[in-house]
Structure 1
Amino acid sequence: MAGLERSDIDIATRGAEQFVEFYYRAYDSDDRVESLPKFYRPSSSIVWNGNPIQGNEGVKQLIEGMPRSKHEVQLHDCHPVPNSMPPSLHVVVAGTVTHGKAAQQTHPTSSKAVDEQPRVFHQTFILSPDAEKDEGGHVKYYITTDNMRFVG
């Protein structure tokens, strides 16, 4: 198989931009318990801040026990995984997340509660192509692996 071409990287970058937008919108939504697990499969492997979780049901259980959140993505990067066609994607995201009451407010209060203060996070995904395509015939992706870690 030939090496990566510029078009491969452009396609991966556009796919990652859409993924990041949809994923964190779902994560912060009112229906996140139903919508977020759809990004995963039963075989998906997740490590959430050092805690292993298995599959979409594990994600659902995790989210059910968490307070509301608001993510502010500050950067993301994506690279197609060589020798995979359509390519799997390696996506890295960094930003801040606020949990609790402050996540629902436009301007958080100056509360000293840790669960209401923005925390820096770093998240790495491997996205794999799904067997089914979207309505336009484009490749759909699901999360194969997800590693999220609070920084500091």
Structure 2
Amino acid sequence: MTMANLTKEDIEIATRAADHFQRLYYTAYDSSTRVDDLPNFYRPNSAISWNGNPYAGAEGMRQLVMGMPKTKHDVLSFDCHPIPGTQPPSLLVTVSGNVTHGEGPVGNPVSTPAKNIEGHPRVFSQTFMLAPDSTVTLKPGEVAKYYIIADALRFVG
């Protein structure tokens, strides 16, 4: 398959898969059980870059979120591009939005400087490379299941 062979339907299917993925992912990320849930999106060989810091695989993601205060993500937009060459295709998903770590500004001690970023929403951009999970048996007509092979998050500003 080449890019010229992608149809509008291919892109719509990929976008639906990406929408489903990002909803599940950020719900898990913001949950009280994220230390157990979030690593399920990754494999041992997944590459993660969190604001310039490298982590390896599902265990790396577990270690990252174990040391992080609770989060609240507000996704403002996402886009998805199917990558030709596999069927179902791998997906390049970009997400942008705001994330608050901790209790928000009201959770900061009174002595916290007003310009302190902790507890305030921060703009983020996150890019995922999703690969189809060949270990999952699909029922006829079921959309492919994906896992994260690469994940890069950056705070913007």
Q: TM-score, normalised by structure 1?
A: 0.91
Q: How many residues align?
A: 147
Q: In structure 2, what is the Cα distance between the partners aligned to 1:66 and 1:135?
A: 38
What SS is found at the alignment partner of 1:116?
A: coil
Correspondence 1:118 to 2:115: no
Aligned partner letter, 1:88: S
Match for 1:76: what amino acid? F
CA distance in 2, matches of 1:149, 1:42: 22
**Sequence identity percentage:** 53
Partner residue in 2 for 1:30: 32
> Could you give the per-residue CA deviations for residues 70-127 of structure 1, whole angstroms, max 9, x where no partner exists?
000000000100122110000000000000122xxxxx53953421000000000000
Tell me if the contact between 1:133 and 1:139 (Cα under 8 Å) persists in the aligned partners.
no
**1:6 Cα deviation (Å)?**
1.1
Paired letter, 1:121? F
Aligned to 1:101: 103
Are residues 1:61 and 2:63 paired? yes
In structure 2, do the counterparts of structure 1 residues 120 and 141 end up closer, same or farther at CA, with 3 Å as the change threshold?
same
Partner of 2:111: none
Matched, 1:129 2:129: no
**Paired AA for residue 35 in structure 1:** D
Dislocated runs of 4+, deviation >6 Å: none
The structure number with the bigger radius of gyration is: 2
Could you tell me which residue of structure 2 aligns to residue 7 of structure 1? 9
For 2:146 and 2:154, locate their aligned partners in 1 and report how far apart those are by CA, in whole Å.
Answer: 22
Inter-partner Cα distance in structure 1 for 2:100 and 2:44: 28
**Judging changes above 3 Å, is the alpha-carbon distance between structure 1 residues 110 and 46 closer, same or farther for their aligned structure 2 residues?**
closer
Preserved CA contact (<8 Å) 2:17 2:143: no
SS in structure 1 of the partner of residue 11 of structure 2? helix
Q: Which residue identity lines up with residue 141 of structure 1 in the other structure?
A: Y
Report the aligned-residue RMSD: 1.6
Amino acid at match of 2:9: S
Say which is worse superposed, 5-14 or 134-143, in terms of deviation.
Answer: 134-143
1:9-58 per-residue CA deviation (whole Å, 9 max, x = no partner) reads: 01101000000100000000000000000000001000000001000000
Distance 2:15 2:143 in 1: 15
Structure-2 change in CA distance of 1:53 and 1:78 (3 Å) = same
Q: Which amino acid aligns with 1:115?
A: E
2:21 corresponding residue in structure 1: 19
- Gap regions ≥5 residues in structure 2: 109-113
